[in-house]
Structure 1
Amino acid sequence: MKPAEWAARHRSGPLDVVVTGLQSDAHTWNLIYIQLLLEDLGHKVVNLGSCVPEDEIVESCCKFQPDLLVVSSVNGHGFNDAEPLIGAIRSRWELTGLPAVIGGKLGVSGAGEEEADALMRAGFDAVFQDGVDIAAFESYVDSLPKEVER
């Protein structure tokens, strides 16, 4: 797309959210749960599904221009797959300001604060560890501006 096609978008109301799994994660129940939760909160969701290649996630974010990217992992490989993904997201000029979060089982033996900090330094805006109260995620989503200007 040409830069001229990225006209300012003024909107008040629900967020447009892309929900996705990582390329090595075949689980879908977590993605459906997150989709239903976000829809119950009044947001619009595009669920890319499980086993999504990195380039497909990036291109989908460029296409849909969401207000939030939610990445979920259940298999414990989230940390390994997430760093390159957020690097690819942040390397695209049109996605540099996209709020991006990750959650779930991010390490085989459970990711700790060190891994969460590394994902934040890599470019994620929030990391929700396995077992974190869902209210923390809902609070984060509620904190995002409902009026978006791009």
Structure 2
Amino acid sequence: MRLIDTDQTRNALSFDTVIPALRDAFREDATVPARHVHAIQSGNAHGTSLIMPAWSERGYFGVKIINIFPENTHQGLPGLHATYNLYSATTGVPVAQVDGDIVTVYRTAGAAALGADYLARADAHTLLIVGSGRIAGLVAQAMRTVRPIQRVLVRSEEHT
């Protein structure tokens, strides 16, 4: 099994490839069961684990696991950790484990840009981003892949 860490995952992804891949994936007949949501308690620690499987006829299936532990921030740790595990759909053999956090933020920003590609005017050059969270910069990058964005405005409770 190949382990693909945070830097390798980030370096392997670009919106020039992510957006067309999402376009194809959304058109594909994939099986995506409802996510499993589990409350986790260990001593005083409380968290939530989200388990999201999906597969198609391409010969692979994947499971993204997101663990959300908000109290981690008091220990200097991220509140969210995620992995994406890829398996052979014909043998069940593990193929790869990928940083699921990076995959998720690229998928989210890429899906937003894909939606804009269908819905926004072709000459749209101003982008308004509501919220200044950690994917705001990636959303701007992704949108520049599908539209000639020249100006980005950000509206946020923290940064206006």
With the shorter chain as reference, the TM-score category is under 0.3
Q: Higher strand fraction: Structure 1 or Structure 2?
A: 2
Give the structure-2-normalised TM-score.
Answer: 0.23
User: TM-score if structure 1 supplies the norm length?
Assistant: 0.24
Greater relative CO (CA pairs within 8 A, separation 6+): 1
Tell me which protein shows more helix as a share of its residues: 1
